[in-house]
Amino acid sequence: MKPVYTLLTVAILSLLLTLVYVSLWEPQGEPLNVSTLQNEDLLELTGSTARLSGDNYLLTATAYSQAIYASAQDKDRPGAVVLVRDDDPAVALATTRLQHMPVNAPMLFVTENGTTIPEETRDELERLRPEGVMMDNNVQVYIVGDIDQSVAEEVKQLKMKPRVISASNPIELSEVLDEYIAVLESNHRQIVFIASTDALEYAYPAANWNAHQGDGFAFVTPEGVPEETRRMLEKRWPYYPYIYVFAPSSVVDEDVMAELSQYGHVQRIPGDTPQEMAVRWAGYKDSGHRTSWLVGYRPRSVGWGYAEPGHNMLLASPDDWRVIVPSGVLSHMGKHGFLLLTGPDGELQDTLRSYLQVLKPDPTHPSQQVFNFAWIIGNDVSDETVRELDDLLKVSSLSTNNSNLSNLNNSSSPENNTLPASETIPGNADNTINSTT
């Protein structure tokens, strides 16, 4: 009889373990009621682009979050959510470095001078239900900047754990953030980006990179280098920081650059306008030594450095920082795109067109073909501009390439240098390639 008792015991234990395992399952939600026609006015596609937008900047930030974090199960939830004020662009720019690992967070807004979690943000918080940052006692929501305590209380009512990171101004906040992240990582980042408080728009591309990489971020003013920034740079000792200034000489002059050079190696990102600086940063790469030489050597690799086809990017209008800055999550996760900007008139500028010609793929074998892709950020980029961008990004037409090669061969032959007036070259009369949305 003993074998019978053993089998019975094993069966009972197996049943109990199965019941315990099933009880740990998360409750199943309602089936999604979706179709390809839902929100078709907001989902605009071409062969190489897709628009992410909402009816307002709050819903646009939510669209970025939903594109990256499905939150259908724990493994595709963010570690946390970052909340910033919708009227403080400098704080939002500095906070993008918090979106990087180990926090792993989208950025959403609080409104009413930092006193209210709007319905759009609250709904997304409840949908995301962040896992919590294990390295920080499972904090789920970071409330950054001069935000009222009632926001933290409201987060607690949603049964989420908040952490408040505050300071009296953006310059001081960048130092506070730097110390917090240094504690998480057990070190201060040797890479530091510098923005001017008087020209934040030049630093938009740096903010997207920082969401991607999480490097240091500090400010200078028209008066020079603030004390908070000096302390940040001094804390990189015994190593010296590599400092990258996102502002032209008309904004940050050579005297300020000389001040910064007292603390480390300084480089200015080229570009006289925010649009040109975004293009230069997309192709910029600074590689080499970072710390140590033999023991504890770590290399330096700063900037996207893209000069060949097969990359992803974001295109935005510079008009509203509340649409641009939260898009850093699209550089942090997913397609890891770099940021490009339209001109003040909403069109692609010549510098950007020239750069995209460098990235344009040529046709090759289907198994080896590379493609470009662009997220169109918000509603301020016109459909005409999107179509032009699509033409610049998509794979070159094989027939167009053959036609160009044929023309080149003909022009190199002496007897074919001229054509009789009565003869015409066969082909497309208007020599255009039409794209559809």
DSSP state letter for 419: -
Sign of the C-alpha dihedral computed for residues 6, 9, 15 and 17 taken in this order: negative
Q: Are residues 145 and 235 in the same domain?
A: no
Q: Does the predicted TM-score (pTM) go above 0.85?
A: no
In a domain, 33, yes or no: no
Angle at CA of residue 90, ends 207 and 148, nearest 5°: 120
**How many structural domains is the chain composed of?**
3
Q: Kindly write down the DSSP assignment for every residue of 9-45, as one continuous string.
A: HHHHHHHHHHHHHHHTSPPP-PPP---TTTTTTT--B
Q: Which of 27, 18, 123, 125 is nearest to 73 (CA)?
A: 27
Dist CA 315 CA 300 (whole Å): 27
Looking at 304, 325, 348, the residue that finishes a domain is: 304
Structure tokens given for 283: 């192709």
Which SS3 state, helix, strand or coil, does residue 190 take? coil
- Chain centre to alpha carbon of residue 52: 13
Give, in order, the Cα–Cα distances in Å from 242 to each of 196, 264, 295, 387, 421.
Answer: 17, 6, 20, 39, 62
Query: Would 435 be classed as within a structural domain?
Result: no
Radius of gyration of the chain (CA): 26
Q: Is residue 358 one of the residues assigned to a domain?
A: yes
**DSSP character string of 354-401:** HHHHHHPPPP--GGG----EEEEESS-S-HHHHHHHHHHHSPPPHHHH
What are φ and ψ of residue 345, in 5° steps?
A: -85, 0
- Answer yes or no: is 335 within a domain: yes
CA 400 centroid distance within chain = 34
- Would residue 14 count as lying in a domain? no
Helix, strand, coil fractions of the chain, as percent rounded to 5: 40, 15, 40
> Which amino acid, 32?
L
Tens digit of pLDDT per residue, the chain (437 long)? 567 778 888 888 888 888 877 676 655 545 545 454 545 554 556 789 999 999 999 999 999 999 999 988 878 899 999 999 999 999 999 999 999 999 999 999 999 999 999 999 999 999 999 999 999 999 999 999 999 999 999 999 999 999 999 998 999 999 999 999 999 998 899 999 999 999 999 999 999 999 999 999 999 999 999 999 999 999 988 788 999 999 999 999 999 999 999 999 999 999 999 999 999 999 999 988 766 566 656 778 899 999 999 999 999 999 999 999 999 999 999 889 999 999 999 999 999 999 999 999 999 888 889 999 999 999 999 999 999 999 999 998 765 555 444 444 444 444 444 333 333 333 333 333 233 33
In this structure, the answer to whether residues 358 and 297 fall within a common structural domain is: no
Same domain, 79 and 110: yes
Paired sense of beta strands 162-165 and 298-302, if any: unpaired
The whole domain housing 106 covers: 70-167
Out of 304, 320, 345, a domain closes at: 304
Q: Are residues 134 and 231 in the same domain?
A: no
User: Comparing C-alpha atoms, which of 329, 336, 337 is closest to residue 103?
Assistant: 329
Q: Which two tokens stand for residue 184?
A: 């998480």
281 and 366 in one domain?
no
What CA dihedral angle connects 315, 316, 317 and 320, to 10 degrees?
A: -170
Indicate which CATH number applies to the domain containing 230. Answer: 3.40.50
